[in-house]
Structure formats: C-alpha cells, structure tokens
Amino acid sequence: MAIPKWNTPSRQAHLVDLFLDSGGFCVFGHKPCPNPEHHYVNYIEGLIADWQADDRAQARAVWQTERLRLHSLGERRYPLRGQFNNISQDIFFWQSAPILPRRASR
C-alpha cells in the first residue's frame, strides 16, 4: 500500500501527539464535548485536507518558479513603449526592407 504524499514524518508525529493528548476524543480537552467536529477522527480529516491544500499550493509555486526560469530570456525588461528585446529586434530588421536615402529632386 502506498503512503500518501501528505504523510510526512513530522505530520505523523503531530497526529500521534494529538491522539495521545486527546485520548481519541475531544482534541480541545472538553470532557463532555458538545461539538462533534472536535472529535479526533473528524478533526484530523479537516487537518489532513488543510495539509493537502498546502502541498498543492507549494507544488504550484514551485512549478510557476520553474516555468518562469525556463521561459525567461534572461534579459533586462524595459517599459512597454521602450526598446525592443533581442528577438523582436531581429524579427523587425529581418522583415523590413533596407531603407535607401532618397535623392532630392531637381
């Protein structure tokens, strides 16, 4: 059986400590607990869902950073109305015809 990705050693230790402190009942220490969401089994479901959301957010941030590094050209950025970047400059000069000076008419 495969171990879930959210199940890290520190998170396992936290779940064990939580169980030992609560005795498997109310995690907040209430003896007759009025809220069923405080019961250990119900509480850890929300905790695990939060850990999974944190892992997804971290993976998304890593992916976006990697994507930015892969696709950036590593050149300085200018304002939108500023200079061409190197690739745009090459395309512009390659597509445009050479400009020849005009002779003044007599």
pLDDT of residue 42: 87
pTM over 0.85: no
Which of residues 52 and 70 earns the better pLDDT score? 52
Write the DSSP string, 23-48.
TTSBTT--SS-S-GGGBHHHHHHHHH
Q: Where do the domains of the chain lie?
A: 9-72
Tokens, residue 78: 């200018």
Which amino acid is present at 73?
L
pLDDT tens, position by position, 21-56? 888 788 888 888 888 888 888 888 999 999 999 999
Q: What is the mean pLDDT of the chain?
A: 81
Task: Assign 49 to helix, strand or coil.
Answer: helix
